[in-house]
């Protein structure tokens, strides 16, 4: 039967279903407890049980010594409640709390969602999981010593495979490879998580998300995390692309609109093709936001796209719409990635 778990000192509560470990349920509900392998081997998820009974599950003795167990400690990636529980655990609230790892990974799935967008899913070794905050990115480390940055498009609670949206820019060393020679089961090397593009959860301000092209990837992860965490803040997504075919996952935000009354979705085409059956918004994506909001002083804005889009949005919102500088979030990786894979830009 489901049991209620209370985390101290935060007082956060969540329900653990029959088939779940404490960690799985916490992540599903959007609470970032620390973890590493999620397999009872590393000890990263260790915390204290203050009251209640649990099944400790199967784990490696080095990860939880008998003396620690006697002191009320448990591995939350393996443990399941046998009653309502109160646990003591440090919730991760900032990127600095997360260990950056360098790991091999295997290409699990390659799915072309548009002419120039590949959705790639990668898998880590059996005993490894990547802890991250929704919206962060990883670097692929290439043989020439260079690296390429890609945002994680999945939320942390859905982390068995890592999802990346890769835009093909001809001449881009890595993206050319992804669209030609890279195959499922190939091995790559990644470093992460990196970046500070994640939802500031200590605020209750409404949020505007602006995605340009594959800038949708981190925003997807952030929104899926927000929905799982039952955030009731107003959320609006503006997704700017050139033409209709570039909205490579439009069915997903449309589904979120149907499921979440606090979410709305406004796709914006900058250059619709002749024949696009389009009666929606057109123009630059930040201008659509400007048209809809006379005053952004009470909002947070999360933007991911080309450097030009991000700069224009920041300047326009802070200079003409009253958005505080510290309420605009965009990750600098877009600059690095863009420079590396789009030298002609």
221 binds ligand FES (CB under 6 A): no
Q: For residues 38 and 225, which CB has a smaller minimum distance to ligand FES in the complex?
A: 38
Select from 125, 132, 159 the least CA-distant residue to 34. Answer: 132
Write the CA distances from 261 to 202, 264, 301, 302, integer angstroms. 22, 8, 19, 20
41 binds ligand FES (CB under 6 A): yes
First to last CA, the chain: 56
79 binds ligand FES (CB under 6 A): no
State which of residues 37, 194, 235, 290 lies at the interface with ligand FES (CB under 6 A). Answer: 37
Give me the residues paired with residue 203 across strands. Answer: none
75 binds ligand FES (CB under 6 A): yes
253 binds ligand FES (CB under 6 A): no
Q: Residue with structure tokens 């796209």?
A: 305
State which of residues 22, 42, 207, 237 lies at the interface with ligand FES (CB under 6 A). Answer: 42
38 binds ligand FES (CB under 6 A): yes
Q: For residues 26 and 119, which CB has a smaller minimum distance to ligand FES in the complex?
A: 26
Give the pairing of strands 137-141 and 13-16: unpaired
Judged by CB under 6 A, the stretch of 43-51, 144-152, 193-201, 289-297 that binds ligand FES is 43-51
198 binds ligand FES (CB under 6 A): no
49 binds ligand FES (CB under 6 A): no
Q: For residues 75 and 228, which CB has a smaller minimum distance to ligand FES in the complex?
A: 75
- Counting residues that bind ligand FES (by CB under 6 A) gives 14
Give me the residues paired with residue 149 across strands. Answer: 139
Site string for ligand FES, 7-36 (x = CB under 6 A): ----------------------------xx
44 binds ligand FES (CB under 6 A): yes
Give the 3-state secondary structure of residue 334: helix
Give the pairing of strands 147-151 and 101-114: unpaired
Least separation, in Å, of the C-beta of 59 and ligand FES?
6
**Can you tell me the distance from the alpha carbon of 202 to that of 198, in angstroms, rounded to the nearest whole number?**
12
Judged by CB under 6 A, the stretch of 39-47, 83-91, 178-186, 324-332 that binds ligand FES is 39-47
Query: Burial code of 84-102, b = ≥16 C-beta within 10 A, e = fewer?
Result: bbbbebeebeebeebeebe
Select from 89, 82, 63, 72 the least CA-distant residue to 6. Answer: 89
State which of residues 63, 217, 229, 289 lies at the interface with ligand FES (CB under 6 A). Answer: 63
Q: For residues 47 and 213, which CB has a smaller minimum distance to ligand FES in the complex?
A: 47
> Would you tell me the crossing angle of helices 251-259 and 216-228 to the nearest 10 degrees?
20
Least separation, in Å, of the C-beta of 194 and ligand FES?
21
Phi, psi for 283 (deg, rounded to 5):
110, -165
**Can you tell me the distance from the alpha carbon of 185 to that of 41, in angstroms, rounded to the nearest whole number?**
25
Least separation, in Å, of the C-beta of 78 and ligand FES?
6
Binding residues (CB under 6 A) for ligand FES: these are 35-45, 63, 75, 77
């Amino acid at each position: 039967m489901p049991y209620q778990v209370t985390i101290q000192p935060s007082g956060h509560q969540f329900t653990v279903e029959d088939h779940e470990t404490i960690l799985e349920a916490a992540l599903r509900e959007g609470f970032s407890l620390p973890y590493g392998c999620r397999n009872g081997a590393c000890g990263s998820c260790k915390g204290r049980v203050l009251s209640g009974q649990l099944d400790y599950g199967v784990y490696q003795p080095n990860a939880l010594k008998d003396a620690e167990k006697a002191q009320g400690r448990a591995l939350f990636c393996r443990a399941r409640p046998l009653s309502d529980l109160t646990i003591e655990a440090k919730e991760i609230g900032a990127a600095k709390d997360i260990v950056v790892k360098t790991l091999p990974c295997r290409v699990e799935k390659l799915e072309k969602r548009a002419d120039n967008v590949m959705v790639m899913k990668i898998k880590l070794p059996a005993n490894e999981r990547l802890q991250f905050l929704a919206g962060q990115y990883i670097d692929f480390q290439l043989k020439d010593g260079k690296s390429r940055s890609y945002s994680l498009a999945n939320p942390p609670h859905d982390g068995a495979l890592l999802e990346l949206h890769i835009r093909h820019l001809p001449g881009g060393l890595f993206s050319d490879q992804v669209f030609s020679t890279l195959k499922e089961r190939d091995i790559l090397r990644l470093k992460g998580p990196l970046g500070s593009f994640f939802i500031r959860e200590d605020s209750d301000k409404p949020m505007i998300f602006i995605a340009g092209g594959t800038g949708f990837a981190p925003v997807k992860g952030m929104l899926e995390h927000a929905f799982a965490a039952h955030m009731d803040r107003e959320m609006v997504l503006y997704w700017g692309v050139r033409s209709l075919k570039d909205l490579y996952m439009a069915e997903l935000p449309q589904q979120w609109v149907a499921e979440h009354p606090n979410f709305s979705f406004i796709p914006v085409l900058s250059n619709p093709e002749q024949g696009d059956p389009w009666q929606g918004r057109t123009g630059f994506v930040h201008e659509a936001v400007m048209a809809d909001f006379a005053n952004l002083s009470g909002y947070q804005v999360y933007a991911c796209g080309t450097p030009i889009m991000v700069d224009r949005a920041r300047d326009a919102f802070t200079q003409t719409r009253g958005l505080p500088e510290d309420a605009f979030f965009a990750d600098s990786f877009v600059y690095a990635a863009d420079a590396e894979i789009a030298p002609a830009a």
